[in-house]
Amino acid sequence: MKIEFANGRIVDPANGVDRIAPLYVAAGRVAAIGNAPAGWHANRVIDASGLVVAPGLIDISARLREPGLEYKATLESEMAAAIAGGVTSLACPPDTDPPLDEPGLVEMLKHRARSLNQAHVHPIGALTVQLQGKALTEMGELVEAGCVAFSHADVPLVDTQLMWRAMQYASTFGYALWLRPSDPHLGRGGVAHDGEVATRLGLAGIPALAETVALSTILSLARDTGVRIHLCRLSCAQSVELVRAAKRDGVAVSADVAVHHLHLSDVDIGWFDSDAHLVPPLRTTRDRDALRAGIADGTIDLICSDHAPVDEDSKQVPFAEAEPGATGLELLLPLTLKWASEDQIALPVALAKITSEPARLVGAGAGDLGVGCIADVCVFDPQAWWRVERSALRSQGKNTPFLGLEVQGRVRYTLVAGQVVHEG
Amino acid sequence: MRNPQLNANGELTHLLTLEGLPSDVIRNILDTADPFVSIAEREVKKVPLLRGKAVFNLFFENSTRTRTTFEIAAKRLSADVINLNVGASSTSKGETLLDTVDNLVAMDADIFVVRHAQSGAPHLIAQHLNTHGRSHVHVINAGDGRHAHPTQGLLDLYTIRHYKREFRDLKVAIVGDVLHSRVARSLIHGLTTLGTPEVRVIGPMTLLPAKVEAMGVRVFHDMREGLAGCDAVVMLRLQSERMKGALLPSAGEFFKHYGLTQKKLTLAKPDVIVMHPGPMNRGVEIDSAVADGERSVILPQVTFGIAVRMAVMSIVAGN
C-alpha cells in the first residue's frame, strides 16, 4: 500500500521538521518527504490540507486491563481508543490481574495485541513478584519476552532495601525502572490532596510530602546505583523542584506528568466528583502551574495519559470508595494541544512531549518520521472542536473529569506501520 | 457549579451541608424552628405538616441518638417513620448504596435521612435522585464521614442565637478533634455564613486539618489563649480510637492540654455558654463540673435539636 498525504503540515519533532510538504508512505515505512521517490504511484492520495501530519503518539502509561480485568476494558476496546486518539505505541503498566510478573503473561499480551494489528504494545514488567514488594521478578526473562521497563504501578514499595537491591540488579543489566514516587505511610488512607479542599469536604488527605519524601529516596538510591530511572506522574511543585535540582547535578533521570494534572486541581473535585478521584491526587492550582512550567522548561520530559478505564459500578460510590483513575487515550492529544495553546507553546515543542520524548523510553524507533522509519503517523485537524461525551469515547471506560468539555484537535487518520487503522 | 441542595428557585430541597447555603436560607430554618420548640411544651406534641409522608431513616453507620431525634421530629410532624439499619442488612449482602436507595424510592419514600461513614455519600444519593427524575424525594444528611452534620450545625447555631441573640459580635471557640469532626465543619460554615466575626479552633496540630484557616477560622494551639474572651465554647467529642497512637499519646495528656475545666473557663467571658454535640467523654474533653455547671447548655441543645430537625424536614418537604 502506497499512501501520499498531500498538502499537510508535517511536524516531526525528532528531526526538527515543521513544513508543509507531501509525505510518502510505502511498504510500511516513510518513503520520502517533499519530493516523491522515483517511479512513485500512490494507491491512495489523501488531501491533508489544514491538517497536521505528525508521528504517531506514544503513551507510556495506558492500562488495557488485560489480563483479568476485562469487565473494565478489553484489548479490543482500548486499542480502538488508542488509534482513535492517534496513539500508535503504548506502554501498559503491570497492574493487571495477575500482574505482569512472568514471561508467559507478557508474551500472551503481546501476541493478543499483535493479532489486533493496531497500536504497538510495550508491556512494563512488574518489578516484584505479584507486585508484593518482596521478591524480584525474573527481569532478564521478562525483557526477552518484550518488557521495556519495570515498575511497581501504583502499589507502594514499602521496603527501601528491596528498592535499592532492585536498582542495583537492574543497573547491572541496564534495565530501566519507571517508578511513581509514593511514600506508603505518609499517604496512608488518603484519597485527595491534603489541603483546603480535602479539609472542607472531610476527605482523608495525601500530603505532597508523600511524593517528595519518596522522590528524595528514589533519587538518592538512583545516584548510588546508577540505574536508569524514570519518575512517573509527578503531581506537586516541590517534586518539580527536586527533579530540576537533580538534573542540574547531572543525575540521569527523566520524568513525566499525566495530562490531567496540567489542567485540573483539587478544586475540580467539586461536590465529590468521583471522576476526579485520581492517583496521584489532583493538587493545588499552584502545583498545577509548577507542573506546566516544568514540562515547558524540560524538567519534566514528557506527558502521558495515565489511561485507566474504570467500570461504572466502581465509580458510582462515595468518593473515597471509588476506584481512582481516568480514561485518557483519546484525550492525550487535545489536552496537550490545550496546554500548548494556553501557555503559548509552539506546536512542535508540544508534540515532542507525546512523540519524540516518550520514544526515548520505549525505543523501537517510534516517534520519528525520518525517511526509512516505520510509518506510524497521526494526522489531525488542530482546529476541529469536539465535545468530550460518553458517546464520543471508544474506550470502555467513560470515566473522565473532562466530560462536557469542548476540546480542540481531532484525529483524522492514524497509520500504524503504513496501514490506515483509523479514519475519523 | 449549582449547589445541589437548592432547586432552580434557590429553595432548599436537600440538606447536605451548610457550606454554600445563603444566610437567609439558614435564618429561615432557625426562624421556622422557633414555634416547634414551644410545641414540645404542649400537651399534644403533634402538628400535621408531614401527614401521609414517609420518612426513611437510612443509617449506614450506627447512631442511636441522632436517629432517635430524627424519629421524634418526624413523628411530631405526623410523618410515617421507617428506621433502616442498613449497615446490618442489604449492604452486607452486596447491594450497592444506590441500589438500596432505588429500592426504597420504589417503596415511595419522601424523605431520606442518611447517615454514612463516607464523606459525600448523601451528595451521591441526592445527585442520583436529581438526575433520575426523582427530585421530589429529599435527602437530609444526618452525618457523613468527616464532612458534614448540618442539622447538628443548625442546632448549634440555634442554641447560640437563643442565648446570644445575634452573631455579629461573637467569639466562638471550637475545641478538640477538628480533623475528624463533621460537627466542627458544619458549625464553622454556619457561623461564618451568619457573619460571626471570630471563629476559633483550638487543638494540637495532629487534630487540626490542613489549611483549616482557609475555612475562615483562627487557629490556636494553646487553649488558654484560645478561650480568652469567648462567648461560646463548643467541645468536640474525642473518639476513643484517637486517644492512643500517632495523633495523641493518651487521653490524660489530652485532658491536661485541651480538657475544659472550670479554671480554664474563667478565661472566657463571664456569660459564656458551653456546648457539646454529645455523647460526652467526661474527664477526657470536659470536666463533669463544667458539663453539669451553670454555663452548660448541653441539654437544651438536645431539645432544640428536635425543633431544628422538624424545621428542616418541613421546609424541604414543602419545596
Contact B120 A199 (CB under 8 A): no
Please indicate, yes or no, if residue A381 is contained in any of the structural domains: yes
Cβ A320–B118 below 8 Å, yes or no?
yes
Chain B interface includes A17 (CB < 8 A)? no
For the segment A289-330, what is each residue's pLDDT rounded down to a tens digit? 999 999 999 999 999 999 999 999 999 999 999 999 999 999
> Could you give the C-alpha distances from A148 to A90, A132, B190, in angstroms and in order?
11, 20, 55
Would residue A367 count as lying in a domain? no
Query: A199 contacts in B (CB within 8 Å)?
Result: 209-212, 214-215
Compare all CA atoms of chain B with the CA of A191 and give the residue at the minimum distance. Answer: B119
Contact A196 B120 (CB under 8 A): no
Residue contact B124–A272, C-beta within 8 A:
yes
Task: Categorise residue B179: left if φ over 0, alpha if ψ from -120 to 50, beta otherwise.
Answer: alpha
Q: Please answer whether residues A296 and A345 qualify as being in contact, where contact means their C-beta atoms are separated by less than 8 angstroms.
A: yes
pLDDT value of residue B88: 55
What CATH number should be reported for the domain holding residue A22? 2.30.40.10
Same domain, A41 and A134: no
The answer on A140 and A102 residing in a single domain is yes
pLDDT of amino acid B91: 56
For chains A and B, what is the number of CB pairs under 8 angstroms? 73
Measure the CA–CA gap between B142 and A95, rounded to whole angstroms.
Answer: 38
Residue A181 counted as domain residue:
yes
Would A369 be classed as within a structural domain? no
| Selected residue of B123, B125, B188 to mutate for chain A interface (largest A Cβ count, 10 A) | B123
Q: What's the whole-number mean pLDDT along residues A49-53?
A: 98
Average pLDDT over residues A265-285: 98
Based on the fold, state whether residues A44 and A172 are members of the same structural domain: no
- Supply the mean pLDDT for chain A: 97
**Which residue of chain B has the CA closest to A208?**
B210
* C-alpha to C-alpha distance for B180 and A204, rounded to whole angstroms: 9
pLDDT above 60 for A268: yes
A252: in domain: yes
My answer on whether A96 and A65 are in the same domain is yes
In a shared domain, residues A20 and A100:
no
**Residues of A in Cβ contact (< 8 Å) with B118:** 318-321
Q: How far apart are CA A3 and CA A23, in angstroms?
A: 8
* Cβ-defined contact of B120 to A270 (cutoff 8 Å): no
| Residue B120 sits at the chain A interface (C-beta within 8 Å) | yes
B219 touches chain A (CB under 8 A): no
Q: Are residues A22 and A137 in the same domain?
A: no
A151 in any annotated domain: yes
DSSP A267: G
Domain annotation covers residue A368: no
- Answer yes or no: do A27 and A99 share one domain: no
Range of the domain at A26: 3-52+374-395+404-423
The answer to whether the CB atoms of B124 and A194 lie below 8 A apart is no
Write out the H or E segment, with its range, that includes residue A416. strand A406-416
For chain A, the domain total comes to 2
Inform me whether the C-beta atom of residue B115 falls under 8 Å from chain A C-beta atoms: no
Q: Are residues A125 and A69 part of one domain?
A: yes
Structure confidence by residue, pLDDT tens digits, A353-409: 999 999 999 987 899 999 999 999 999 999 999 999 999 999 999 999 999 999 999
Same domain, A337 and A418: no
Q: Which of A109-118, A208-217, A258-267 has the lowest mean pLDDT?
A: A109-118
Let me know: does A422 contact A413? Beta carbons within 8 Å.
yes
Instruction: Flag if B145 and A317 touch (Cβ within 8 Å).
Output: no
Are both A103 and A236 inside the same structural domain? yes
pLDDT of residue B242: 80
Residue A98 within a domain: yes
Q: Alpha carbon A96 to chain centroid distance?
A: 17
Distance between CA B319 and CA B317 in Å, rounded?
6
Find the distance separating the first CA and the last CA of chain B, reported in whole Å. 21
Same domain, A33 and A177: no
Whether A318 and B4 lie within 8 Å, measured CB to CB? no
pLDDT at B3: 83
pLDDT in tens, chain B (319 residues): 578 899 989 899 999 999 999 999 999 999 999 999 998 888 888 999 999 999 999 999 888 889 999 999 999 999 999 998 877 555 566 788 999 999 999 999 999 999 999 999 999 999 999 999 898 999 999 999 999 999 999 999 999 999 999 999 999 999 999 999 999 999 999 999 999 999 999 999 999 999 999 999 999 999 999 999 999 999 999 988 887 778 999 999 999 999 999 999 999 999 999 999 999 999 999 999 999 999 999 999 999 999 999 999 999 999 8
Does A201 contact chain B (CB < 8 Å)?
A: yes
Q: Which residues of A are catalytic?
A: 306
Of B1, B119, B211, the CB nearest to A203: B119
Same domain, yes or no: A267 and A309: yes
Q: Using the structure block, give the residue that is written with the C-alpha cell 482557609.
A: B214
Residue B212 contacts A where some CB pair is shorter than 8 Å: yes
Distances (CA, A) of B56 to B12, B73, B101, B122: 19, 12, 10, 13
Least CB–CB distance from B211: residue in A199, A204, A270:
A199
Q: At A292, which CATH number?
A: 3.20.20.140
pLDDT tens digits for range A120-142: 999 999 999 999 999 999 999 99
